[in-house]
Structure 1
Amino acid sequence: MPERRVATEMGWDGATAPQLRVIASDELTEADVAAIRAILWAAFGDGEDAFAEDDWTHALGGRHFILEMGGDIVSHASVVERTLWIGEQAMRTGYVEAVATAPDRQNLGFGSVVMAAATAWIRERFELGGLGTGRITFYERLGWEPWRGPAFVRGPAGLERTPD
């Protein structure tokens, strides 16, 4: 299991290792939702990069990778199925959303644990993995590669170029 491998690499043993839950959006409890949302809004802060309701909505409908330590949720990532197109080829894509670790638990490897599990899940089930981020180096060290080509979104008026 990827979470066991990463936990070992991070130096956690069975007694201290965080526990990973992988559940569907409709299995989230009210307490899960409240804790995850609190982490997301705190981790992204205010300003240009602030987490918004639209961001939360995009994270629903797939699988949630929830890392708990001592009964508290400390890190989260979501994978939602999307269709990305490469030229004329539709690709069934596991799209990563809402990745965050509680601010007081950052830089301890928790984000790496949830992303290692999410990445393994994507590789087993999808043709492609995708995400949007300003923290490219974090994902690159976990095996992700930046898209080097142009990117567009399909809107009511057709294809629209995205800024990044």
Structure 2
Amino acid sequence: MTPSPSPSPSPAEHPTGTAELRLAHTADLDAATLTAARILLYDVFDDMTAEDWEHALGGMHALVHEDGQLIGHASVVQRRLLHNGRALRCGYVEGVGVRADRRGRGHGAAMMTALERVIHNAYDLGALGAADDAAAFYATRGWQPWRGPSSALTPHGIHRTPHEDGALYVLAASATLDLGGELTCDWREGDAW
């Protein structure tokens, strides 16, 4: 069960004091907010695709607004990961981005703190795919690199995803993890991880 969305925005953890952090489910966001989040992520990521945006929907969103403008987005969605013979309920982090002129002010950390609370209270583990330039950020927050092989459960069976090896990070919640074991994700269109 995912927690209820916050009834009202709360201050983000950063020095400026003018930003507000809101945690809400996709179903509770209006079309204008979702459009602003999609536009923000397309601006942040050069290689953002329609499937990437779709992957960020259906769960909890952490949104940072400053002076009425959306400047940060991150979401956590439910996925199933296979590990050590178990199907684990995973809070998978997607679409973490802060507007370029607002980076370095703690907005990313504030959004991740909100999503990590959701992961710890609602999932067996958290997982995400980290770009090289973001890996250190996640590691300082307690996310651990997955050292074992990765795979995807596709319509044609389990297939290795070696290009993801070394880029996956996990956050233990209630599950016991063997970081050197195999980790297999459920199927979805676009990037498996």
TM-score, length-normalised on structure 1? 0.87
Listed as ranges, the matches of 1:19-58 within 5 Å are 19-45=20-46, 50-58=47-55
- Tell whether the 8 Å contact from 2:64 to 2:107 is kept in structure 1 after alignment: yes
**Structure 1 consecutive aligned stretches of length 4 or more whose deviation exceeds 6 Å:** none
Q: CA deviation at 1:11?
A: 3.2
Q: CA deviation at 1:157?
A: 1.4
Match in the other structure for 2:15: 11
Whole-angstrom CA distance in 1 between matches of 2:27 and 2:144: 31
Q: Secondary structure at the match of 2:129?
A: coil
1:74 pairs with 2:78: no
- Tell whether the 8 Å contact from 2:74 to 2:96 is kept in structure 1 after alignment: yes
Consecutive unaligned residues in structure 1, runs of 5 or more: none
Match in the other structure for 2:141: 142
Q: CA deviation at 1:137?
A: 0.8
| Higher helix content, 1 or 2 | 1
Whole-angstrom CA distance in 2 between matches of 1:124 and 1:29: 26
- Tell whether the 8 Å contact from 1:64 to 1:79 is kept in structure 2 after alignment: yes
Identity of aligned residues (%): 36
Q: Secondary structure at the match of 2:144?
A: coil
Q: How many residues align?
A: 152
1:63 pairs with 2:60: yes
Query: RMSD value over aligned CA atoms?
Result: 1.5
Q: CA deviation at 1:17?
A: 4.4
1:112 pairs with 2:109: yes
TM-score, length-normalised on structure 2? 0.74
Cα distance change, pair 109–55 in 1 and its aligned pair in 2 (3 A): same
Match in the other structure for 1:152: 151
Consecutive unaligned residues in structure 2, runs of 5 or more: 1-9, 165-193
Listed as ranges, the matches of 1:90-109 within 5 Å are 90-109=87-106
Whole-angstrom CA distance in 1 between matches of 2:58 and 2:146: 24
Whole-angstrom CA distance in 2 between matches of 1:36 and 1:103: 14
